[in-house]
Amino acid sequence: MKLLVATHNAGKIEEYRSLLAALLADLVFPAELGLSLSVVESGDSFEANALIKAKAYAQASGLLTLADDSGLEVDALDGAPGVRTARYAGPGASDEERYQLLLRNLADVPWEERTARFRCVIAIATPDGQTYTAEGRCEGLIAFAPKGEHGFGYDPVFYMPEYGRTMAELEPVLKNRVSHRARAVQAAWGILKALLESPEHQSP
């Protein structure tokens, strides 16, 4: 059965190919189907935005669809950037521009107050309108400077105390066991498996 993973983000595509490799499904992505929807993520939470995307792509494709919304919450910034994580430095900004702005906004914040977390909410939608959600989170601190060559987004400045490294310093195999997205997939695994094995959700 096909499972549409509703993202155009190259970093997420690579991670989902790995995270969902053991799932008995034919993974497809919007570009492979020629799908390029203009979905306005107008929700005020990660869950709301993930559901908006999942439902839109499930209806457009007729396929069981997985979408996520994820972001970074920094306690010293009252939870920002939050749902605006990808738009933190304005439209068209690069990953580096976003995390450099974050570092500037935390310039005077001491180490012990730089606590933060990555959150990921996965939404699963069926073409007939059923929806499910699952969440994963990863606690850490915002480093004073970027470090590491792996990952994408804010990974170079997200320090994980239990590993003594930023997320961008983790080997991909390790990141795909401990990241917020990995934990969200783990939480959603049973739902996905049940839906993929359900006769009424079989696709051509």
The Cα 70–Cα 105 span in angstroms is: 21
Number of Cβ within a 10 Å radius of residue 52: 19
Is 75 annotated in the active site?
Answer: no
Comparing C-alpha atoms, which of 55, 2, 53 is closest to residue 29?
2
Six token digits for residue 112 = 């012990």
CATH number at residue 34: 3.90.950.10
Sole residue written with tokens 């992505």 = 29
- As a 3-state breakdown, the chain gives helix, strand, coil percent values, each rounded to 5, of 45, 25, 35
Q: Which stretch of DSSP H or E encloses residue 161?
A: none
**Which one of 26, 69, 108, 155 is the catalytic residue?**
69
Contact 56, 39 (CB under 8 A): yes
Comparing C-alpha atoms, which of 185, 198, 200, 202 is closest to residue 22?
185
pLDDT tens, residue order, the chain (204 aa): 899 999 998 989 999 999 999 998 999 999 999 998 888 888 899 999 999 999 999 999 999 999 999 999 999 999 999 999 999 999 899 999 999 999 999 999 999 999 999 999 999 999 999 999 999 999 999 999 999 999 889 999 999 999 999 999 999 899 989 999 999 999 999 999 999 988 765 544
On the question of a cis peptide bond just before residue 172, with omega within 30 degrees of 0, the verdict is no
Q: How many domains does the chain have?
A: 1
Q: Which stretch of DSSP H or E encloses residue 8?
A: none
Length in residues, the chain: 204
Domain that holds residue 185: 2-201
CA 64 remoteness from chain centre: 18
